[in-house]
């Protein structure tokens, strides 16, 4: 990494932007009125998503006019050919949870430098938990260092996953993977906010997380937080994670290859027409 990059300055503004979005999420908590469907049932957008995005985009653009921004409800649509610095933002991860006042929601702010994650902030303003990390500087929860779990096997693991909004229309919808992994671990949680699933892996509360159909803004911040907490993040095949591939596997590192192998078993069965 370029030693001239002032990561402290960048993080200060990432935190400030996240706090501005958090104020919006607190303001509309329990009061959303305008709930619209996007691609499918459950794919929602509310006035909280939009206003949260507006305030953080305005703030980041003001501070860093030469940087680019990719965000869920507006902005760029791809990380390909982006500027040196690309902010990847989900102004509200867990919109369905938010509309039900299920307090597993976050604003997720990631910054890529030359295409790879440089820093990340995942902030749940309802529980007041703020996860953050800068490349090479470790990960923290509310200012305290965090580390991934030491769980050694899949059968002793608590794992998270999620299901894309195309699950009714697409046979590759993670149902087969869910059943297969569920038979082999202690439990699976589907709490509904990918950025927080990753943050929980980083904090050692979950041993792993996988999902398909996931978008850049859901994972950009969480990836660096897991990595800086000592974990591993790849695609399903254990190859380096590619933000736009849509498949992610994050873990404490120890159980990583075991889960990857099981995901490959399911894929082979699907390709052979068995699942
Ligand atoms: C969703 C959540 C969910 C995941 C979906 C995401 P959104 O983000 O992270 O956990 O399963 O794939 O789209 O729509 O609430 O920002
Ligand atoms: Ca969102």
Could you please report the per-residue DSSP string of 121-142?
Answer: EEEETTTTEEEEEETTS-EEET
Q: Is the CB of 53 under 6 A from ligand 1?
A: no
What is the number of the ligand 1 atom nearest to the C-alpha of 92?
16
Per DSSP, the three-state class of 120 is strand
- Give the pLDDT of residue 176: 95
Q: Which residues pair with 124 in a beta bridge?
A: 129
What is the number of the ligand 1 atom nearest to the C-alpha of 162?
11
- Give the pLDDT of residue 208: 98
CA 272 – ligand 2 centroid, Å: 35
Q: Is the CB of 177 under 6 A from ligand 1?
A: no
Count of CB atoms situated within 10 Å of the CB of 16: 15
Q: What is the mean pLDDT of each run of 10 residues along the chain (275 residues)?
A: 86 98 96 79 80 95 94 71 87 96 98 95 98 98 98 98 84 93 98 98 98 96 98 97 94 98 95 79
Q: Is the CB of 192 under 6 A from ligand 1?
A: yes
Pocket of ligand 1, candidates 94, 107, 197, 210: which has the most ligand atoms within 8 Å of its Cβ, to mutate?
A: 94
Q: Is the CB of 91 under 6 A from ligand 1?
A: no
The helix, strand and coil proportions of the chain, stated in percent and rounded to the nearest 5, come to 35, 25, 40
Separation between Cα atoms, residue 246 and residue 217, nearest integer Å: 11
Alpha carbons within 13 angstroms on the beta-carbon side of residue 253 total: 12
Q: Is the CB of 193 under 6 A from ligand 1?
A: yes
pTM for this predicted structure:
0.95
Pocket of ligand 1, candidates 74, 93, 100, 165: which has the most ligand atoms within 8 Å of its Cβ, to mutate?
A: 93
CA 1 – ligand 1 centroid, Å: 31
Query: Strand 144-145 relative to strand 187-189: parallel, antiparallel, unpaired?
Result: unpaired
Q: Is the CB of 214 under 6 A from ligand 1?
A: yes
Separation between Cα atoms, residue 198 and residue 154, nearest integer Å: 17
Q: Is the CB of 222 under 6 A from ligand 1?
A: no
- Give the pLDDT of residue 226: 98
Q: Is the CB of 218 under 6 A from ligand 1?
A: yes
């Amino acid at each position: 990494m370029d030693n001239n990059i002032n990561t402290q300055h960048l993080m200060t503004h990432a935190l400030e932007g996240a706090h501005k979005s958090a104020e919006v999420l607190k303001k509309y908590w329990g009061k959303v009125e305008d709930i619209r469907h996007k691609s499918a049932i459950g794919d929602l957008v509310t006035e909280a998503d939009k206003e949260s995005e507006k305030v953080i985009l305005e703030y980041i653009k003001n501070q860093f006019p030469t940087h680019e921004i990719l965000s869920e409800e507006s902005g760029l649509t791809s990380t390909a050919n982006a500027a040196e610095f690309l902010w990847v933002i989900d102004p509200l991860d867990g919109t369905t949870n938010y509309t039900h006042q299920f307090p597993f929601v976050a604003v997720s702010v990631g910054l890529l430098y030359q295409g790879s994650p440089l820093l990340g902030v995942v902030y749940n303003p309802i529980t007041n938990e703020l996860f953050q990390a800068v490349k090479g500087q470790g990960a923290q929860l509310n200012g305290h260092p965090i580390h991934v779990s030491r769980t050694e096997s899949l059968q002793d693991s608590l794992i998270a996953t999620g299901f894309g909004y195309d699950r009714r229309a697409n046979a590759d919808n993670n149902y087969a993977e869910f059943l297969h992994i569920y038979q082999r671990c202690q439990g699976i949680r589907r709490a509904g906010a990918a950025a927080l699933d990753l943050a929980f892996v980083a904090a050692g509360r979950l041993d792993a997380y996988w999902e398909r159909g996931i978008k850049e803004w859901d994972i950009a911040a969480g990836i660096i937080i897991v990595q800086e907490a000592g974990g591993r993040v790849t695609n399903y095949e254990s190859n380096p994670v590619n933000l736009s591939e849509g498949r992610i596997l994050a873990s404490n590192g120890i159980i990583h290859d075991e889960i990857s192998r099981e995901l490959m078993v399911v894929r082979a069965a699907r390709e052979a027409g068995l699942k």
